[in-house]
Amino acid sequence: MYKWSEILSPEAMDKAKELLARAKAESAAGHTIYPPQDKIFNALTLTPPDAVKVVIIGQDPYHGPGQANGLAFSVNPGVTIPPSLRNIFKELHDDIGCPIPTNGDLTPWAERGVLLLNTSLTVERGKPTSHSGWGWQEFVLDVCQACTWLTQPIVFLLWGGHARAFTAGLQILSRTKNKCSICSSHPSPLGATKGGPGVPAFLGSRPFSQTNRFLEAHGADPVDWVLP
């Protein structure tokens, strides 16, 4: 097993250190930053490179108290499940019959090879997208680029225009035969039922069964999507 630090560019690692220091400085100055500092890189800690089967791209962490745990779309146990995640769970049930989870913690997915990456890894309390100009995207894009170079089959689940635009330069469909992207609208209530040209609505898009079929077709074990 190898670490992300062993396959990411030196520039990306320097950027990560710079932004972690900036988050610590903001906290020291009295700003409340989410997720907690020990969870900022939680997605990478829980899903090492050789374990990645799926990459899911979110935008930035939840900005309410106690919500963010460093995984895209995920919230801590006991926190009210946000609307987008409710729709993800609805599609999970409708697609492959999984019971609706009782909490919004996606840690089990991360431990099973689902890399849950936000394009910004921190946010200030009550201020959505407040750190989108910090430069997190440079680091996260390097992680995504590294995933396209890994040897195992990997599916990129791109939900919404932000995720599609963020990964547009990666050539996921054409780089190798064992990488693919599965796109749809965003699972938020505003977008979940609204498809567009070449992009189906999230609800009814069956991303979980599509992912497992691709993985199995390329000799990999499917993802166990069942959550507590």
Q: What is the pLDDT of residue 176?
A: 64
Residue stretches of the chain with pLDDT short of 70: 173-176
Contacts of 150 (CB under 8 A, 6+ apart): 49, 50, 52
Q: Is 105 a catalytic residue?
A: no
Cβ contacts of 34 within 8 Å, gap of 6 or more: 61, 62, 63, 67, 68, 122, 123, 124, 125
How, if at all, do strands 54-58 and 114-118 pair? Answer: parallel
What's the pLDDT at 175?
53
Amino acid at 115: L
- The verdict on whether omega for the bond into residue 197 sits within 30 degrees of 0, i.e. cis, is no
Report the pLDDT value the prediction gives residue 173, as an integer from 0 to 100: 60
* Full-model pTM: 0.96
Q: List CB contacts of 28: < 8 A, sequence separation 6 or more.
A: none
CB atoms within 10 A of CB 50: 13
| pLDDT for residue 177 | 81
> Given 14, 38, 50, 60, which residue is catalytic?
60
Q: How far apart are the first and last CA of the chain?
A: 27
Distance CA 118, CA 62 (A): 10
Place of tokens 């567009």: 196
pLDDT over 70 for what percent of the chain?
Answer: 98
Tell me what pLDDT residue 207 has. 98
Strand partners, 184: 159
